[in-house]
Structure 1
Amino acid sequence: MEKSTVQNIRLGVLVVLGTVLLVVAAYLIGNRQNLFGSTFQINAVFKNVNGLQKGNNVRYSGIDIGTVKDIEMTNDTTIVVYMIIQEKMLSHIRKNAIASIGSDGLVGSMIVNIVPGREAGPPISSGDQIASYSKIGAEDMLSTLNVTNENAAILTADLLQVTEALKNGKGTFGRLLNDTIMSDNLLQTSANLKELSTQANIMLKQLNEIVANIEYENSVADVLTNDSVSGQQMKNILTNLELSSVQMVSVSRTLDSLSTRIYEGKGTINYLATDTVFVNQLQHTMQNIEEGTLRFNENMEALKHNFLFRRYFKKLEKEKGGKE
């Protein structure tokens, strides 16, 4: 009886130890899939691991190549993830590979995905650190969607206000939508512009035809373009015209100054033009001279018929006739 009890105790202890060993072995095998193979270690730095844990799988181009050994938080923005990779992948992973954290399916555990770089690079070595890429988390996406929804609500409210204003005929566009007279005017204006454009095209076409029919050779334009002497002469003519215009301006200023002085009462001309008394005296004097000349002619005619001077005047007439 005592022997049977001891054997049962020993059997129970063995069963308990076996069970414990089996659980420990399963745990170790689960956390380290490459427990009995050759491995090397690499790491990557992330700002957010999104729930990644020790023992999660590491994949390279979709193939399981290792597990997460440890996660170490250096500071509030730096988290180092250490990974154990199968040694046979040394020749495949390059130093420019990029690591990112994703999920294994929709509801699966988190994994580390390693993708090759775009350009060729040297093979990776044990202990190297590769670049990382942090994907947008679900919370960030929800936050962004929330902001987007708020902006969409504000935009919708503004659109409703604009639509209501358009329906009520407020603003320029509202008047255009509701005022048929303005719409007809705009249509007429558009038709007029179209007709004007057509007429302009016709005029341009006719102008091109006129220019094309002009005989360029032996024309003034041809001479001015190709004859350097004529070009120089034309340049001299323009220079002379410019000098003449300057001189005309100077003469105009002189005449203006002279007329101003005359108008202001300076000089004989102004005196003659403005003094009416002197003008009347001058007119009377000229009248007296004319009357004196007339009387002198009459006296000379009388002297011709006087017997004292008759022979003298006949002699003068004979001398005058002889000279002719």
Structure 2
Amino acid sequence: MLRSRTIREGSVGLLALIGIALFGAVALWLRGINFSEKSYQIVAQFPNVNGIQVGDSVRYRGLKVGKITDIIPGTNGVDVIMEISSSDLLIPKNALIQASSSGLIGETFVAIIPQNELPEQAQATTPLSQNCDSSLIICNNDRLEGQPGITLDDLMPLMYQMSSLYSDPRFFDNINTAVQNTSMAASEATQLSRELSVLAKDLRGQLNTFSNTANAITKVADNSSEQIAATAEQYQRTANQISELTTSVNQLITQNRSNLVATLDNIKITSDRLQNLTVQIDKSLGNTNTEQLVQNLETLTANAAAASANLKDISATFSNPNNLVTLQQTLDSARVTFVNAQKITSDLEQITGDPAFVNNVKNLINGLGNLVSSTEQLEQQVQTTQILEPVQQQLSLRSDNDNFNLTEKSLKLESKNKNSLSAKEINYHLNSSANFPIPELNKQPKP
């Protein structure tokens, strides 16, 4: 019995110890005490804590890294002792320590905001080491200046000022005036937008007009360019033709150069002969009976006038259209008859073979041929008459000309040398004088 009682009492005591140990562990855990990691402390002096209490959190870059372990009020400020849970956290020396809150009525905390990055040489030490450089990092028990944040106490004066401003009637009057001005500005902006819309329509119409004008100008420019190109092509063709013509003329001149030289030589020879003939005529005229020559010339002129009258009558007769038509019809009929006669002759010769009949037909054909030749001679005479009529007019116009007198003198000289000239030679000289006028010679005065 005694042994069992001892076991029961020992069990109760053991359970009590276990409970106390668990309670202490929970209490330490709730206080944030961690025996596995070493922590260090920082002392920050604030002019006003603004509701900071022991146990509030300490945040580094927004993350909780420690807590406030004690708040010690002083004459010149309040010392807030902060415990950083891990000694591995290195905080730059110029970090900003500020008291903040998560809202108007939220919890307060101390925020540590670094201002720059640590160099590599500062990362080799820890805040708890004896060689900790306070100029680079925050070491254990370093004192820093804290800055109070904006709290509800700071916002109350601002809220009071805002309430006073909003309760002032002039503020609402100003707001009403601003609203009215805004409404007027909006109406004017609406009117301006309408005017801008009308202006945009007008500009669109003007742009369409400009576009049409530009298109028309473009078309005109295209047509002009095409016409200019066509004109240039025509000019090129004309230039090529002129070049070809120049080449042809040069070739023609080159080919006919010998003929031109021969013609010029012949003209020179003819001029020399005419000059010699003129000299001989001048010598002969000195020994010529001028009165007899004048009488012969008057007789020749009278005969020429009578011949021209007869030629005029003949030309008038042959120039009659009816006679010409009759002659033409006669010639056509004669030609047709001649052709038919030849066909008949060939047919009859093939059919009959009679030599006497063939001879008679040949005689008939010869007679028709003579008739055709007579009509052809008649046509030639008509043409000759038409040619002689302007010649006769030229002779009548040149009767008082010195060239004609010179020709008559030359005829008289030849009549004296040859005693007489035939009618053909006289006509030849007259035609020569009419067609090729001789330069005027020096006249000798009558004796």
**TM-score, normalising length: structure 2:** 0.31
**TM-score, normalising length: structure 1:** 0.42
Greater percentage in strand? 1
Greater percentage in helix? 2
Q: Which structure: larger Rg?
A: 2
